[in-house]
Amino acid sequence: MGCDLQYTLNMREVTYALTEALDFVGIDDTMHGKRVAYMAAELSKNMSWSKNTTDDVMFIGMLHDCGVSSTDVHIHLVTELDWENSHIHSIRGEDLLKRTKIYQKFSTYVRYHHTHWNDLPNTLTKEQKEISNLIYLVDRVDALRAQLKTIDANSAHNIQETIKKHSNKMFSPELVESFIAISQHDSFWFYLEGESLNDYLIEWVESGLEQELSFAEVKEIAMMFAAIVDAKSEFTSEHSVGVATLSRYLAELFKLPQEACEKIELAGLLHDLGKLRVADEILNKSSKLNANEKLIMNRHGFDSDMVLRHIKGFREIAHIASLHHETLDAKGYPYNLTASQIPFEARIIAVADIFQALIQNRPYRSGLTTHEAYEIIFDMCKEGKLDLDIVTILKDNLEVCYEKANNAYYINQELHPEK
């Protein structure tokens, strides 16, 4: 089947949506990526860097923590000025960006955004060193802000003094001097507040140009989103890709149009984006969730929709992705939709999601066999929760469906085609 359909996207919108999702990881301290992007851009302007460089710095600021999926890692990064394991997420972030052609040029900066100024390798250009260190400096400013909880005259002064203390070791003296200069203005700190910060960034996003992307290019971006989500837990590793692969296969068995098949595959890759907001201890809990934990878990489809709807070209995909836990008996979540309100595309993803989850190991059980998983799905169908036609075609192609959902070879080829 050809992949010649074109998608019109504003990459600033896409990146803004990604930083929204990444900021979920902070749970009680969100908007970190946005604050880093804003401060980095202001510092870039004060350094009289070009507009193109400032735009790149905005992208890097939003993307710099793409290697962080765990709430535990986030806690270390905001409570310790110089955490010894910070390089791990930097390397992972570099790897994710390298796989995604449209973001590849930012990978080196993300790799070194926790490297001390005097430890940056000589293989980097002057610009690579300066931009990497710029992101590191403002990232640490925001970590200090998180520790102090509020910004007043005293805390702003304390942040400035801490940064100055590490000049010429952790941070470039020239960048430190520039930061001290712009942070003397009260407005610098005011822009770190939610409403003002969003206004600042939305103005930048809306000035971005739309561009035509192929399905392959869009899928690369969605694969990056999926990899970030699935890294949140060892038990959900490769889940999104498995759901997407099986969903696409089922859609093709129903001979749906190419555009519908592509949208279903993209929605499958993106369906669990909202899980970044779920604390690690809830996602990995081996016992039954209590009422509050269940509510937190049950909102992830809603949060996926809230993130993805920022991307105009993804509105329909966002809607389909958000419905993967809706059931035909109107007892699903988060919207409790009736059967007539659940589109066929979302019904396909619901079946694929359940089947893939059942055959995976989870903290509370081992993965089930093909037939054990099917029996549970068939019981749900008899209870009026799942679409009979989809469950029937799953049964008729059960072994292939298992391979698609548990498709390590496919995943390895997508992420590491050189192997």
Are 177 and 89 part of one and the same domain?
yes
* CA angle at 317 for the pair 312 and 320, rounded to the nearest 5°: 135
Say if residues 280 and 307 touch (Cβ distance below 8 Å): no
Say if residues 15 and 59 touch (Cβ distance below 8 Å): yes
The pLDDT score that the predictor gives to residue 364 is: 66
The neighbouring-strand residues paired with 211 are 9
Mean pLDDT across the stretch 325-352?
97
Mean pLDDT across the stretch 400-414?
68
Q: Does pLDDT of 235 surpass 70?
A: no
Mean pLDDT across the stretch 81-100?
94
Are 302 and 356 part of one and the same domain?
yes
Say if residues 335 and 326 touch (Cβ distance below 8 Å): yes
Q: Does pLDDT of 416 surpass 70?
A: no
Average pLDDT, the chain: 92
Of 157, 218, 159, give the one whose Cα is nearest residue 10: 218
Q: Is residue 397 part of a domain?
A: yes
Q: Is residue 208 part of a domain?
A: no
DSSP state of 366: P
Q: Is residue 354 part of a domain?
A: yes
CA distances from 221 to 202, 217, 377 (A): 21, 7, 31
Mean pLDDT across the stretch 326-348?
97
Are 376 and 305 part of one and the same domain?
yes
Q: Name the residue with higher pLDDT: 347 or 155.
A: 347
The pLDDT score that the predictor gives to residue 232 is: 84
Q: How far is it, in rounded angstroms, from Cα 114 to Cα 64?
A: 10
pTM of the complete model: 0.90
Are 40 and 68 part of one and the same domain?
yes
What residue has token string 């809230």? 306
The neighbouring-strand residues paired with 7 are 213
Other Cβ atoms closer than 10 A to 286: 9
Least confident of 19-28, 216-225, 251-260, 333-342: 19-28
Q: Determine the structural domain holding residue 346 and report its residue range.
A: 213-415
Q: Is residue 393 part of a domain?
A: yes
pLDDT tens digits, 134-165: 999 999 999 999 888 777 878 999 999 999 99
Percent of the chain with pLDDT over 90: 79
Q: Is residue 277 part of a domain?
A: yes
Q: Is residue 232 part of a domain?
A: yes
Mean pLDDT across the stretch 356-366?
81
CATH code at 137?
1.10.3210.10
Exposed, middle or buried, 198 (CB in 10 Å: 0-12/13-18/19+)? middle
Torsion of CA 374, 380, 383, 384, to 10 degrees: -110
Are 153 and 262 part of one and the same domain?
no
Domain total for the chain? 2
Single out the residue in 164, 193, 222 at which a domain terminates: 193
Are 359 and 395 part of one and the same domain?
yes
Are 264 and 396 part of one and the same domain?
yes
Other Cβ atoms closer than 10 A to 275: 25
The pLDDT score that the predictor gives to residue 233 is: 73
Other Cβ atoms closer than 10 A to 101: 12
Are 65 and 97 part of one and the same domain?
yes
Are 232 and 172 part of one and the same domain?
no
Exposed, middle or buried, 248 (CB in 10 Å: 0-12/13-18/19+)? buried
Q: Is residue 361 part of a domain?
A: yes
Q: How far is it, in rounded angstroms, from Cα 236 to Cα 264?
A: 20
Are 71 and 161 part of one and the same domain?
yes
Give strand ranges (E) for 179-303. Answer: 210-214
Single out the residue in 193, 224, 240 at which a domain terminates: 193
Q: Is residue 199 part of a domain?
A: no
The pLDDT score that the predictor gives to residue 283 is: 87
Single out the residue in 193, 224, 245 at which a domain terminates: 193
Are 255 and 165 part of one and the same domain?
no
Say if residues 304 and 276 touch (Cβ distance below 8 Å): no
Are 80 and 167 part of one and the same domain?
yes
Phi, psi of 8 (to 5 degrees): -100, 115
